[in-house]
């Protein structure tokens, strides 16, 4: 079947998303990455709207792209203005891009109320603008803004705007669901009807206001559209544009329509995370295909089935899009969850050991613990059920005092007594709060024996009240995120006493750090021994 052309508008439409602002350097980085992934056309911005976009197009000339063309975006000429006198059209030419995208009005409501002109003048604006760009050797993408709303209001006029663009030489006519309120069957039916009326290739540009951006895009393709517009991660104005990270694998894997080089599809998840990182956005774990939770399995029955055959509860192999299967451990888990999770940790556990861990998890979650987001605590639980596991340290006791002193204010002091082997360490430390003081005292007790603990940092500390009706006597859950360079892990504690809950999570974070150090050391020794044998 025919290839589908992918047109990315992350750098223009995507930046209209609330909270997203890309520098010129950011846009250049993303453009390079989109080109490497295999995107056909990259819309860089609106050169007539701001100096930053104009600078992007100037610097984009030196990008030396291998796959993609850069497109400049702008509107048709203003009413009662010649194309050669229109500043927007001149800015599009000055951008020097091989592709120019012109947006024009398809809906009479916009013609009358927004442009404040006549339907006849709007048709002339479309035709003359497209012809002007064609005369300057540009490939012209015509975006028919609000097309589906316009077609539903007056199909003859909406089709007339497309004919004006087609007769002037537009290379593709893009049907836009700009308000994002159309439904998939409407999109499919109207796209099919337009295809029967016009010979020019059709495209689709969908917004996600009704939650149908991806479905509407696929419906248009199914009805004959061969050009698809969207953004990485669905960035866009209001609730966003159609998400290319969802559309591309559906086209390529489900509909059998090639749109990027097949070998590049496994880089989709990395592309999603990369653009989030450059845009300073937290990755959405719920995104289909690329999200962290896209292939996460929690229910014991599900996990047991997936361990026998991954197709049982997965619509594709996650590796096809650069993702991977994850097994969650919770009170809903069975032994299979624990056994599979143990394999992730590099451990082999038998059925009895797994049953013991499941029993402990269910009991602890009844007390307020949760282990889905605290995999380091699960790792420790599995290891502690191994017959020869030895804890790197053992708590004897701790005490925390919070004081207010005149001239100094509020501060906390903690004392910790721990056993390491046959030695007991009794230390004290101050902090700006009780958890900070506990952290400092525990590190002080451990660093003489485990100096690498100086390098780890508490990265995040979250407290959740589990039964708010109990007021200050409520059960609380504490989640601690700890990191060492790029390595990061999470641990959990729960209690009616926030200090005890914090201690549990804090002690687990330290113990996990020491296990990782031991594992890295053993791996390094193994590598050196292998190297010696190879020599």
pLDDT recorded at residue 282: 87
Residues in CB range of 165: below 8 A, 6 or more apart: 102, 104, 126, 127, 130, 140, 142, 144, 173, 200
pLDDT recorded at residue 532: 43
Tell me the backbone φ, ψ of residue 355, rounded to 5 degrees: -60, -40
Separation of CA 286 from chain center: 8
C-alpha separations of 87 from 73, 92, 169, 255, 396 in Å: 13, 9, 22, 43, 77
Q: In the chain, which residues have pLDDT < 50? A: 1, 520-535
pLDDT recorded at residue 327: 66
HEC secondary structure over 352-366: HHHHHHHHHHHHHHH
Longest distance between any two alpha carbons in the chain, whole Å: 92
**Distance between terminal CA atoms of the chain?**
54
Question: Cα–Cα distance between 99 and 104 in angstroms, integer?
Answer: 16
Residues in CB range of 530: below 8 A, 6 or more apart: none
In what helix (H) or strand (E) does residue 32 lie, and over which residues does it extend?
helix 24-37
pLDDT recorded at residue 189: 97
Question: Cα–Cα distance between 177 and 144 in angstroms, integer?
Answer: 9
Place of tokens 């951008």: 95
CATH of domain 5-260: 3.20.20.70
pLDDT recorded at residue 379: 79
Question: Cα–Cα distance between 144 and 162 in angstroms, integer?
Answer: 7
Ordered DSSP codes for 410-423: EEEEEEEEEEETTE
pTM equals 0.76
Nearest to 232 by CA among 36, 46, 39, 21: 39
HEC secondary structure over 286-351: CCCCCCCCCCEECCHHHHHHHHHCHHHCCCCCHHHHCCCCEECCCCCCCHHHHHHHHHHCCCCCCH
Report yes or no: 334 and 300 within 8 Å, Cβ to Cβ: yes
343-365 in b/e form (b: 16+ CB < 10 A) is eebebebeeebbebbbebbeebb
pLDDT recorded at residue 523: 40
Nearest to 381 by CA among 365, 350, 355, 360: 360
**pLDDT (tens digit per residue) in 284-293:** 989 999 998 8
Domain ranges for the chain, please list them.
5-260, 296-372, 394-524
pLDDT recorded at residue 369: 73
Match domain 394-524 to its CATH number in 3.30.360.10, 3.40.50.300, 3.40.50.720, 3.30.160.270: 3.30.160.270
16 secondary structure, DSSP code: G
Number of neighbours of residue 499 by Cβ within 10 angstroms: 20
Tell me the backbone φ, ψ of residue 262, rounded to 5 degrees: -55, -35
């Amino acid at each position: 079947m025919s290839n589908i052309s992918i047109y990315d508008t992350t750098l223009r439409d995507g930046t209209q998303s609330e909270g997203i602002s890309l520098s010129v350097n950011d846009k250049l980085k993303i453009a390079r990455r989109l080109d490497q992934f295999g995107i056909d056309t990259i819309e860089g911005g609106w050169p007539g709207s701001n100096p930053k976009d104009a600078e992007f197009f100037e610097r984009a000339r030196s990008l030396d792209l291998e796959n993609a063309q850069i497109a400049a975006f702008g509107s048709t000429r203003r009413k009662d203005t010649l194309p050669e006198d229109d500043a927007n059209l001149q800015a599009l030419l000055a951008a020097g891009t091989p592709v120019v995208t012109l947006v024009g009005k398809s809906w009479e409501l916009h013609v009358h109320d927004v442009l404040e002109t006549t339907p006849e003048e709007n048709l002339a604006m479309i035709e003359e603008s497209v012809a002007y760009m064609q005369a300057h050797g540009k490939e012209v993408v015509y975006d028919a803004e609000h097309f589906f709303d316009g077609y539903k209001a007056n199909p003859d006029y909406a089709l007339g705007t497309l004919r004006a663009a087609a007769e002037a030489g537009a290379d593709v006519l893009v049907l836009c669901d700009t308000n994002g309120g159309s439904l998939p069957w409407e999109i499919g039916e109207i796209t099919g009807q337009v295809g029967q009326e016009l010979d020019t290739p059709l495209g689709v540009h969908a917004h996600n206001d009704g939650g149908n951006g991806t479905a509407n895009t696929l419906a248009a393709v199914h009805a004959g559209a061969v050009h698809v517009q969207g953004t990485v991660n669905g960035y866009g104005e209001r609730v966003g544009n159609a998400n290319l990270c969802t559309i591309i694998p559906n086209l390529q894997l489900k509909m059998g329509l090639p749109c990027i080089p097949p070998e590049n599809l496994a880089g989709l998840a990395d592309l999603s995370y990369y653009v989030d990182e450059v845009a300073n956005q937290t990755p959405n774990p719920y995104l289909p295909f690329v999200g962290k939770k896209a292939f996460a399995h929690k229910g014991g029955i599900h996990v047991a089935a997936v361990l026998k055959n991954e197709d049982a509860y997965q619509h594709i192999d996650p590796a096809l899009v650069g993702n991977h299967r994850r097994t969650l451990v919770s009170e809903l888990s069975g032994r299979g969850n624990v056994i599979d999770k143990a394999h992730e940790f590099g451990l082999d556990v038998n059925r009895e050991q797994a049953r013991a861990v499941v029993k402990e998890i269910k009991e602890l979650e009844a007390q307020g613990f949760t282990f889905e987001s605290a995999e380091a605590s699960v790792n420790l639980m599995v290891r502690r059920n191994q017959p020869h596991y030895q804890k790197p340290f053992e708590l004897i006791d701790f005490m925390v005092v919070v004081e207010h002193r005149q001239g100094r204010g509020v501060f906390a002091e903690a004392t910790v007594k721990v056993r390491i082997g046959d030695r007991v360490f009794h230390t004290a430390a101050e902090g700006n709060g009780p958890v900070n003081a506990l952290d400092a005292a525990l590190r002080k007790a451990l660093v003489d024996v485990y100096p690498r603990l100086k390098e780890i940092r508490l990265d995040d500390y979250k407290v959740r009240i589990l039964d708010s009706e109990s007021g200050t006597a409520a059960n609380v859950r504490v989640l601690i995120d700890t990191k060492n360079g790029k390595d990061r892990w999470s641990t959990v504690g729960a209690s009616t006493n926030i200090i005890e809950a914090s201690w549990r999570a804090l002690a687990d974070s330290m113990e996990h750090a020491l296990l990782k150090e031991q594992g890295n050391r053993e791996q390094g020794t193994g590598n050196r021994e292998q190297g010696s044998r190879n020599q």
